[in-house]
Amino acid sequence: QVQLVESGGGLVQTGDSLRLSCAASGATSSIFAMGWFRQAPGEERGLVAAIRWRDGTTDYVDPVKGRFAISRDIASRMVYLQMSSLKPEDTAVYYCAATSRWVRLDSQDYEYWGQGTQVTVSS
């Protein structure tokens, strides 16, 4: 089992930056990849960015490319999502997730989830 706890959400204005953090604990040696997902009101939860735990390979969905950056610190078992040039359409609950399965980085097949952190971008 892997436990995930997100932090860093909040209310910001258009164009601002924000960094989300995710602390992983438990069976972290089993992690293959970690990702950040988001869910806006009335929409399905979807992948935003993912990172392969061992080699740091990353992948992003098109709407956030060039604005968001996912990174990880293996020693401290942390994953981060640096968000820049935020837009109102980035408003959502952001979830950290982890998988031990050998999946494609654009997969949404994750088995461990955090509780979510709200990000609100005002116009």
pLDDT of residue 106: 86
Which DSSP category does 120 fall into? E
Interval 39-60 mean pLDDT? 96
Is the pLDDT reported for residue 105 higher than 90?
no
Is the pLDDT reported for residue 88 higher than 90?
yes
Interval 39-52 mean pLDDT? 96
* Beta strands at 46-52 and 112-113: parallel, antiparallel or unpaired: unpaired
3, 24, 21, 6: which is closest to 77 by C-alpha?
24
pLDDT of residue 49: 98
Is the pLDDT reported for residue 56 higher than 90?
yes
Which amino acid, residue 8?
A: G
